Amino acid sequence: MNTKIQEKERLYKKMEENFPKFLKDLDRIVSIPSFLKENDDRFPFGEDIQKALETMLDICKELGLKTFIDPEGYYGYAEIGEGEKLVGVLGHLDVVPPGDLNKWENPPFEPIIKDGKYYGRGSQDDKGPTLAAIYALKTLLDCGFNLNYRVRFIFGTDEENLWRDMPRYVEKEEMPTVGFTPDSKFPLIYAEKGLLQCKLTAKNQSGMVFKGGDAFNSVPSSILVEKTAGLVQALDKLKYEYTEKDNKIEIIGKSVHAQVAETGVNAINRYLHALSLSGVETKSGKFIVENLIGYNFAEPIFGEVKDEHSGELKFNVGKIEFTPENEILCIDMRIPVTYDKEIIVKTLTEKAKEYGFEYSQHDYLKSIYTPLDSELVKTLMGAYQEVTGDMESQPIAGGGATYARAINNCVAFGYVLPNSPKTEHQPNEYIILDDMKMAMKIYMKAFEKFRV
């Protein structure tokens, strides 16, 4: 038998042997509800995110890696190997909130395997893929892989919110020579849109007080509001799905990541549409009805905004709050890589003023672009193609905002395979176990190709 074939079979056998331990370690991580909880004097993003960071570092120690945790709790890393070259693998341990627990078939932080799928919040985004990359390297080392460079697994804690973690790492630590983040899709993301999150604030003259939505970067799956006869009639007329609970109405949407907002159903938009139809006037309702209802990409505001590399501008109302004083819309936009952010801001600001809103920026991340003929792209594409045999799928541009933006010479690489579902930010988030094994094989090949 060919020596290379024998070596591959030995690697894959060892991977299968390690897989039950991988799943047990994944349970340890996914069972921690590591979504943002601010106002904790001890930890920057709350005790649960700190616990997830410490647990991941404990796992890495058990696997033989050297670990470091930032004294302030913003990041940590685990490293192995020797040499000048440093390959960085960047993953995040924070997750988005679970949202409406009634939409989960199983509690989000009690992971379960069913029908070849592993369910739990963070299983796909990004705890599962991050741990898979670690176990891919462990499998290689178990089989005697000559690691003549260093690998550093860098763990972030604020990816789902304001990215207050990675600037600390960049300021204090050594930069990788090259890197990838297992936080998107295969075969590879060579360009990422600009991410702009903002708030539109106007005086509340409606007398209503309510709030809805979980995160800027998630399409809201539901909103619970006061029941009125007019609202019920409007919902029925629009044929919008809802349920009644005592004197409340829950309007039903479909949650997806904001980078693909047009594939979801925005419960906030539906509520304000129905509210307007019922005769209740709000500035938010007028803005949404005239600019978002019936449109996928907020065309009445911006016109057509798209480019060849990265597609259309994406626009998502992720959260809403009516206080006694103000109406507040929390918006997430993904801006095509060739467009000027300032033009987008100017256009939105002027449009918002027509409805009585003031614009304020919440967060911004520049777009990134890695040439297709770069050594990094060629190396990782080679790993993907050799393992999968897929020569058709090409590098793609995405709307996600991954840690590939945090350092130079870094791209998003997996875990989701072409034609497999992305379940991040959704109820019943899951990974497909066979896909995860394939991802491990691809990551093993990538580590082989990074050899000096």
- One domain, residues 303 and 242: yes
- One domain, residues 255 and 320: yes
Distance between CA atoms of residues 324 and 418, nearest Å: 47
What pLDDT, on a 0 to 100 scale, did the predictor assign at position 245? 84
Strands 415-416 and 184-185, bridge-based pairing: parallel
- One domain, residues 243 and 345: yes
- One domain, residues 323 and 384: no
| Cβ contacts of 230 within 8 Å, gap of 6 or more | 278, 279, 280
Q: Which of 365, 397, 412 is the last residue of a domain?
A: 365
- One domain, residues 282 and 372: no
- One domain, residues 118 and 132: yes
Q: What is the DSSP letter of 254?
A: B
CATH assignment of the domain containing 61: 3.40.630.10
Domain enclosing residue 395, as ranges? 3-192+368-449
Angle (nearest 5°) at CA 268 between 429 and 306: 80
What pLDDT, on a 0 to 100 scale, did the predictor assign at position 1? 55
Structural domain total, the chain: 2
pTM: 0.85
Q: Is 298 exposed, middle or buried (0-12, 13-18, 19+ CB in 10 A)?
A: buried
- One domain, residues 237 and 296: yes
SS in 3 state form for 81-97?
A: ECCCCEEEEEEECCECC
Residue 68 is which amino acid? F
Q: Name the region of 163 (left: φ>0; alpha: ψ -120 to 50; beta: rest).
A: left
Residue 154 is which amino acid? I
- One domain, residues 56 and 107: yes
What pLDDT, on a 0 to 100 scale, did the predictor assign at position 72? 96
| Residue ranges, the chain, pLDDT below 70 | 1
What pLDDT, on a 0 to 100 scale, did the predictor assign at position 330? 99
- One domain, residues 143 and 213: no
- One domain, residues 218 and 142: no
- One domain, residues 162 and 58: yes
What pLDDT, on a 0 to 100 scale, did the predictor assign at position 309? 83
Q: Which of 365, 384, 417 is the last residue of a domain?
A: 365
- One domain, residues 138 and 276: no
Q: Which of 303, 332, 365 is the last residue of a domain?
A: 365
What pLDDT, on a 0 to 100 scale, did the predictor assign at position 121? 98
What pLDDT, on a 0 to 100 scale, did the predictor assign at position 265? 98
What pLDDT, on a 0 to 100 scale, did the predictor assign at position 186? 98
The predicted-structure confidence for 60-116, as pLDDT tens digits, reads as follows 999 999 999 999 999 999 999 999 999 999 999 999 999 889 999 999 999 999 999
